Amino acid sequence: MRHLYVNGSWTPSTSGEVVNVINPATEEIIDRVPAGTRGDVEAAVAAAHAAFPLWSRMAPAERAKILADTADLIRERAEQIATVIATDLGAPYPVALKTHTLMPAGVLESYAQMAGKPAEESRAGTALILREPVGVVAAITPWNYPLHQAVCKVAPALAAGCTVVLKPSELAPLAAYALADALHDAGLPRGVFNLVSGRGPVVGEALAAHPLVDMVSFTGSTRAGRRVAALAAETVKRVALELGGKSANLILPDADLEKAVNVGVAHAYANSGQTCSAWTRMLVQWDQYDDAVALAVAAARKYTVGDPFAEGTRLGPLISAAQRDRVIRYLNLGQEEGARLVTGSTDYPLERGYYVEPAVFAGVAPGMAIEQEEIFGPVLSIVPFGSVDEAVEIANGTPYGLSGAVWAESEERAVSVARRLRTGQVSINGGRFTPAAPFGGYKQSGIGRELGEQGLEEFLEIKALLL
């Protein structure tokens, strides 16, 4: 049984109730975390509020050292943390180690470097422009990248001089506990970081509405993001939202079709498709459409589902029975809409665990639910287009704008098309994700940015001294 981390120590929740943590590969209870209460939130926010003056005035080099030491501790404990993530999330162990554990350690290190620099000042006429920490930050994070998403909020907030109350998802909360342990062992002062586990309608909503919380940074569904923003608006606090996506992988006729399709399938199925930035729509010109479908089917069939710790497993389970059933509903809906399920099945591939076979839809038309709505599973829709203008229109034709890709023979041509996409991040000819680049979306994919210098700026207020 876990406890809450409040004001520098592990303390029981006032509720005495727990949330069971389920291993999605075995459907067994592996741990229990407290079901936090509004009273727990009050205690955590009060601790963060009291710690803010000292932490915000601490020398940048001291804050930087704590973050750097935390990154080192996560690297030292990487195998243990990856085992935890592979167990409560279901990610294959090699992915849990590299993507879910070592990448967040790198993000922490990058913000340690930024924290060590003096706060930026500038001049505007006779005014001196300062940047100061926003205050107490409520960080509400999802289950799909349980350590990475927490670090993407906690690290820049602490680097900026803010204090934090973290509410992890109750579905995969254990990595957040590993982060709390590392911060504690790195010597973070009491109250600067607090962790309150529990359910969103209780803990998350209490944080979003709390008058002493100066900013809410939320990652999750667009529906939940609207609720968080509405609650935060009552006290006019700053809000950063990283929400859903339905990203397009646009393959122009002169691109390397085989490479573009194979990389696109891999990106669509990353983390069992439970990735907000997944390229779940593949856009291919009519002349190449049949070839692209055949290539995608061949690639998809190489993604073996299985035990996250078994050698050769490329797709772990989905996070829950509810998520598995949601994906299967979309597989049925896509066929009802007239799309062809050219690989994949609505049957359970294994007797135990929340698994779904990797799926590819052909014959997908713009406007179909499977082309418009975020499914959050290993499901790829292949959409044909005629002209480049039509492809851009299709790519921009959803309520989302989080990520995407453009493939062309030349980088110049791909960039010219990418500039026309209404989305926050675009991969050019397979350009890889880098934590140094800002991440966030247009439209209903969110407000604000994470990662890089822009991610740090989200946690800073601007003050003008009129001299």
Contacts of residue 324, Cβ cutoff 8 Å, sequence gap at least 6: 317, 318, 348, 354, 355, 356, 377
Neighbours of 69 (CB within 10 A): 18
For 441, half-sphere exposure in the C-beta direction (CA atoms, 13 angstrom radius) is: 27
SS3 214: coil
Q: Which two tokens stand for residue 318?
A: 């989905």
Burial of 262 (0-12, 13-18, 19+ CB in 10 A): middle
Report the alpha-carbon distance of residue 84 to residue 97 in Å, rounded: 10
Q: Specify the residue for token string 């001089």.
A: 161
Question: In Å, what is the CA distance from 379 to each residue of 92, 359, 376, 463?
Answer: 18, 5, 8, 47
Neighbours of 76 (CB within 10 A): 12
Catalytic residue numbers, as ranges: 242, 276
Terminal Cα distance for the chain, rounded: 56
Give the DSSP per-residue string, 57-75.
Answer: HS-HHHHHHHHHHHHHHHH
* Dihedral over alpha carbons 430, 432, 438, 442 (to 10 degrees): 30
Report the alpha-carbon distance of residue 237 to residue 147 in Å, rounded: 25
